[in-house]
Amino acid sequence: MTDSSENVLECLIIGSGPAGLSAALYAARANLKPVVLSGMDLGGQVSKTAAVDNYPGFPEGIDGPEMVSIFQKQAERFGAEIIFDSATEVDLSERPFKVTTYGGEYLAETLIIATGAEIRQLGVPGETDFTGRGVSYCATCDGHFFQEKDLIVVGGGDSALKEGIFLTRFAKSVTIVHRRDELRAGVYLANKAKENPKIKFIWDTVVTEIIGDGTVNSVRLKNVKTDQEETRPIDGIFIYIGHIPNTDLFKDVLDTDENGYLVLDKQMHTNLPGVFAAGEVGDPHFQQVVISAGMGAAAAMEVVEFLEDEN
């Protein structure tokens, strides 16, 4: 934290997911003494992921939280400082850039934004009321509460299928409710889910209400082709319908696309010199741990070049 202009960081990284921690590793190895503002959850979305099976170097897969811990250790080994705090305001009108947090204020010559994305909510009645009481967005965190229960998972993407498969470890049944009749998920997970005897699919259907009495006991479903509605008894609902990028702090100053993702060039530059970004906050397309990590490394390398060019 800094309260005087003498204390200007060379590189401040906002966010501690794979992008932020990889950026920290690369910036630390370049001797920039980066500071990482972790945000509310160290590790971001990965910290809530059951198993990461597609990151090279882990042939047996690795638990999300364990992966975060390894990333953290490696960045800290080279001198990155990780601070458990969140940015609440940024002033990018001049350099050094000023970032206000709950705990204080930071000045930095360069910024790497790695704030990731938030889970998207359904926005139906009952969702907020029953969050933590049968409504969940994290199978890793909550799956074990649903031993031998009947669950539904909403969504047709990779997350819905991956976490749906994970939930079959505990649940009696997992019904995947998708709004279309074709999955968005890739073939591998689609086949794995279809082969799983505990998993069933309900197609062309949306959840219109989550109902309960203390905890969730049913959902109201509507077939979007026939408009037919039904109330289906269930014990829990896991929602995986995509993400919303965390760009609120920057959207007035930095270019974003129509969905709010930061617009980056191939070198991770935003439209503002000295401000770089990496990971899902600027990646509406791939959203993979390995790609976010690569973007983080690239952003840090560009920071090094940017500072060298200036001197």
Least gap, CB of 93 to ligand NAP (angstroms) = 34
Residue 138 catalytic?
yes
Comparison of 144 and 180: residue with beta carbon closer to ligand NAP: 180
Question: Is 11 one of the catalytic residues?
Answer: no
Question: With binding defined as CB under 6 A, does residue 34 bind ligand NAP?
Answer: no
How far apart are the C-alpha atoms of 271 and 259, rounded to whole Å? 17
CB of 292 to ligand NAP, least distance (A): 10
**Residue 141 appears among annotated catalytic residues:** yes
**DSSP label at residue 269:** B
Task: Please report, as residue ranges, which positions from 225 to 284 form the binding site for ligand NAP (by CB under 6 A).
Answer: 240-242
Q: What are phi and psi of 106, to 5 degrees?
A: -125, 140
Kindly identify the residues of this chain, within the stretch 119-148, that bind ligand NAP according to CB under 6 A: 122
By CB neighbour count within 10 A (0-12 exposed, 13-18 middle, 19+ buried), where does 223 fall? middle
Burial class (CB in 10 A: 0-12, 13-18, 19+), 233: exposed
Q: How far is the CB of 215 from ligand NAP (least distance, A)?
A: 22
Residue nearer to ligand NAP on the CB measure, 110 or 205: 205
The answer to whether the CB of 55 falls within 8 A of the CB of 289 is yes
Residues 6+ apart with CB under 8 A from 48: 41, 64, 137, 138, 140, 141
Between residues 61 and 104, which has the closer beta carbon with respect to ligand NAP? 61
- Which residue in the list 142, 158, 235, 283 is annotated as catalytic? 142
For the chain, first and last CA: distance in Å?
24
- Bridge partners of residue 205, in order along the sequence: 223
Closest residue to ligand NAP, judged by C-beta, is: 157
Residue placing its CB nearer to ligand NAP in the complex, 161 or 211: 161
Given the rule CB under 6 A, which residues bind ligand NAP? 54, 122, 154-160, 162, 179-180, 184, 206, 240-242, 286-287
